Structure 1
Amino acid sequence: MRTALIAAAVTMAATGAVAAPEAYTLDSSHSQVMFTYEHLGYSTTHNMLAGWEGEIMFDADDPAASSVDVSIPLASFYTGWEKRFEHLMGPDFFDAKDGDMINFKSTAIEVTGDDEAIITGDLTMNGITKSVQLEAELNQHGQHPMAGKDWLGFDAETTIKRSDFGVGAFAPNISDELDVEISIEAGKAE
């Protein structure tokens, strides 16, 4: 029996049958990030960014060997009020230019449960890069019923300080900490 197991392992290694991460492209129509902050103690304000671009290299057999490299256009900011959007894009906050992106690239993944992991990575926003940790959960991995191919769905959350990224105007009256919730889908790359 032991000889058979060793032979099978050698055969798998020789034929390259060892699983490796596979590329998944983000589905920008079903991926978004929501964040909230407190406004002067009177209300909790909700905002959203959408239009993700990027790739997840997913290893189903060894999730810690997976990686994430994604971007989202700053212009996709949805505030629900045009004057707030203009203020956020102006000199008090982002001083945004056409084509400005928010980027996240993973540097490590620590599996913490059957479908849960801590994804550590570099978040670049407003020209500043800081390490952040996302508490992530794999919602589902399987055949998409309409796309007809392998699909992934994740939710993640974190808290960041906006002042760390040079957009700390009016803190602490407007909370410096942002509660961030992310939901993404990705389909297996062609």
Structure 2
Amino acid sequence: MIRILTFVLVLLSAGIAHAADAMPEFKQPSLNYKTMQSGTYRLDPSHTNVIFKISHLGFSQYIGRFNDIKGTLSFDANNITNSDLSVSIDPDSVDVNHRVLEGELKGEKYFNTSSFPDITFEATSVKQTGPTTGIITGDLNFHGVTKPIQLQAKFNGGGKFPFTGTPVLGFAATTTIKRSDFGMTEGIPLVGDEVAIEIQTEFHYEDAKTMN
């Protein structure tokens, strides 16, 4: 028994050592966007989160997310205001960790995904407000209605993805909308009208052959 245990421990130690050898050196992302690669980037869905928060009877902020997100960023490091952003979300991918409620949200009273299969955002302007902050103004098409919104954006940092060497840009953004502005009024005021949206995302340079 002792021999078996020793053998297992040796194997585990060897595996951990091999994994450590395989790990690339970590380099802190740069906050200087001017040193980043200009060009077209695509959103990495496995490292993107779009979270929404809405009041539930005033007792708590109910939290949900979307799991199917696509996007393209045209990034100009020399003139950030020339950058452009396009994002598409599948509302059928709504996730609130409750299957019955998810089915209700996809129905006619809320997202009505059969009639409105896409949520889109198309940037119309980018304004820099600080070394790593800015306002992205654009048109949000949601529930069949298009209205301008502003994203309070922050550049988390950029650099080379350590496993592939691909240029990567990371961002955070927040905004607040009223769902009634987009024709979704079911449940108000028991379920809040204001929806707080929080975004964390990574964009990989489009020439990349792989994304991890």
Could you state the TM-score of these two structures normalised by the residue count of structure 1? 0.86
CA radius of gyration, larger in:
2
Report the counterpart of residue 51 of structure 2 in structure 1. Answer: 34
Report the counterpart of residue 131 of structure 2 in structure 1. Answer: 114
What count of residue pairs does the alignment treat as equivalent?
A: 172
1:65 to 45, 60, 82: 82
1:21-80 deviation line (CA, Å, top 9, x unaligned): 510011011112101111111221100012221200011121111010110111111011
Could you state the TM-score of these two structures normalised by the residue count of structure 2? 0.77
1:153 is the counterpart of 2:170: yes
Report the counterpart of residue 52 of structure 1 in structure 2. Answer: 69
Ranges of 4+ aligned residues in structure 1 off by more than 6 Å: none
Structure 2 stretches lacking a partner, 5+ long: 1-36, 208-212
1:84-141 deviation line (CA, Å, top 9, x unaligned): 1111111211221188111000001110000110000000111111100000001011
What is the aligned-residue RMSD (CA, Å)? 1.7
2:93 to 54, 76, 84: 76
SS of the aligned residue for 1:163 comes to helix
Identity %: 37
State the 1:147 CA deviation.
Answer: 2.9
Structure 1 stretches lacking a partner, 5+ long: 1-19
Matches of 2:68 and 2:164 in 1, distance apart?
19
Matches of 1:177 and 1:189 in 2, distance apart?
35
Matches of 1:174 and 1:118 in 2, distance apart?
29
Matches of 2:55 and 2:115 in 1, distance apart?
28
Report the counterpart of residue 32 of structure 2 in structure 1. Answer: none
- Matched to 1:133, the amino acid is Q
